[in-house]
């Protein structure tokens, strides 16, 4: 059984993903901002790590907490916000920092969105710190989809993929969202744990366990490198 970090595990897709993994006999490291909302997962055997991913220093501390617990086999970068100045810090900077600082798991899963296709493939003028809002949710999901592809290209021994869970009825998606919530989380569980050959591939963009088309910029090595350079400059942490 695998040992898997799930960020944003207090509710929605992250909570459902953690529960699916626990039900499958896997060991979960559940991340959240506050301990109380993860108590039931801890009672079921999950380890808990805490920190606000909008704050780079707390994100670094989350990485240290995870590393102190021991190696993880996979990381599911689920945490995200829809609007406001923290869109870039939470949706892009935090996954980058955790990727760079949490050992080298064998599998990495980054939560994207179909909305990434409307993102702007430009990095000029972005405030990665979140002091002021300079990017949309769509932009951030294009960047994290690009990050998944960049890691797949850079780290040949790691299976790195992006997942569109669909428009599902979570607090972010809204009660009227049309996609199936359980189906929305099964792809990331499958990519993090399954032994079948399709799941043991890298550089894909997935929707409900099927390959889907992504924004062309996400597959552009030049744009990937520019994004990695910008994130390394902002955080002071290059991707190993």
Q: Residue 231: what are its φ and ψ, rounded to 5°? A: -70, -35
Full strand arrangement of the beta sheet holding 210-211: 47-50, 27-32, 3-6, 74-77, 107-111, 159-164, 205-207, 210-211
Catalytic residue among 96, 110, 141, 205: 141
Strand extents, DSSP E, the chain? 3-6, 27-32, 47-50, 74-77, 107-111, 159-164, 205-207, 210-211
Active site residue 110: no
Active site residue 207: no
Cα gap 74→50, rounded to integer Å: 18
Catalytic residue among 110, 137, 205, 207: 137
Would you please indicate which residues are annotated as catalytic (active-site) residues? 137, 141
């Amino acid at each position: 059984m695998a040992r898997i970090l799930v960020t944003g595990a207090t509710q929605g897709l992250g909570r459902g993903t953690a529960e699916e993994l626990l039900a499958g006999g896997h060991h979960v490291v559940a991340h959240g901002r506050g301990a109380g909302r993860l108590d039931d997962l801890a009672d079921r055997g999950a380890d808990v790590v805490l920190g606000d991913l909008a704050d780079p220093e707390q994100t670094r501390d989350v990485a240290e907490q995870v590393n102190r617990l021991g190696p993880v086999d996979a990381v599911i970068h689920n945490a995200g916000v829809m609007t406001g100045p923290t869109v870039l810090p939470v949706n892009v900077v935090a996954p980058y920092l955790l990727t760079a600082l949490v050992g080298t798991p064998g599998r990495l899963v980054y939560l994207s969105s179909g909305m990434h296709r409307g993102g702007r493939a430009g990095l000029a003028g972005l405030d990665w710190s979140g002091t002021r809002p300079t990017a949309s949710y769509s932009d951030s999901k294009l960047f994290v989809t690009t990050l998944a592809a960049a890691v797949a290209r850079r780290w040949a021994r790691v299976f790195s993929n992006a997942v569109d869970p669909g428009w599902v009825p979570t607090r972010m998606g809204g009660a009227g969202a049309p996609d199936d919530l359980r189906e929305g989380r099964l792809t990331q569980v499958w990519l993090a744990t399954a032994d079948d050959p399709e799941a043991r591939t890298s550089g894909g963009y997935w929707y409900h366990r099927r390959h889907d088309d992504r924004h062309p910029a996400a597959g552009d090595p030049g744009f990937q490198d520019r994004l990695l350079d910008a994130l390394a400059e902002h955080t002071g942490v290059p991707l190993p």
